[in-house]
Structure 1
């Protein structure tokens, strides 16, 4: 059997920073890989910010906009320095972007409160340690 798929749901609504989100996303962001950022149409500032790193993709998502592009150092630097949004009434947002998808099967969804990892590194000690740290704040499922 191959590496397990992992689902992570941040359930602790009291997290005041996005330290774990930034660490996890940058762990899977690799230069040269394709990405998509999904935003709701009314999130004009977020669409504008994402458009710096890619272009609007034609889609049939009536209520949203998808920006696609190639990961580069500037994109990864932007992710690493993303500040946790203050708008947390509905979701305790970790990122201003509704969803981020990477070509390697990693995704950050529902404003960074859910992660899906299709191919988790089983021998990566940094990843294993990070999962242990996150366990206090999240539900982690392996499939």
Structure 2
């Protein structure tokens, strides 16, 4: 779902990882944030996913939505051994619906440590100006 003007990067930080993402839409920005987090852990091999699933994530604010989405990804990696790659994202009334292709972590090329949690400080998802959303998050590793 990466479109023109979309991107992400990670910045190493003492015992943490800082994610930065940007896109023309809120849901695109969330996709970029998920992609940054997943790429910090592993790179799926070019094979068919083990499964595909949808997950609707609700939150009362944009910052809470970013935290909830990243927490879902961390849970899937850490507890289920799944590497979620977003196929599609769409806004719903109180959040976002994500469609994930789930790859087995064991079948991926590891690129970094498994994240533990999203820090609630320095967490931001906001529209900078019309047509540009950005977000930042600190992730404990």
TM-score of the two chains, using structure 1 as the length reference: 0.30
Say which one has the larger Rg.
Answer: 1
Q: Which has the higher strand share?
A: 2
TM-score of the two chains, using structure 2 as the length reference: 0.30
Structure number with the bigger relative contact order (C-alpha 8 A, sep ≥ 6) is 1
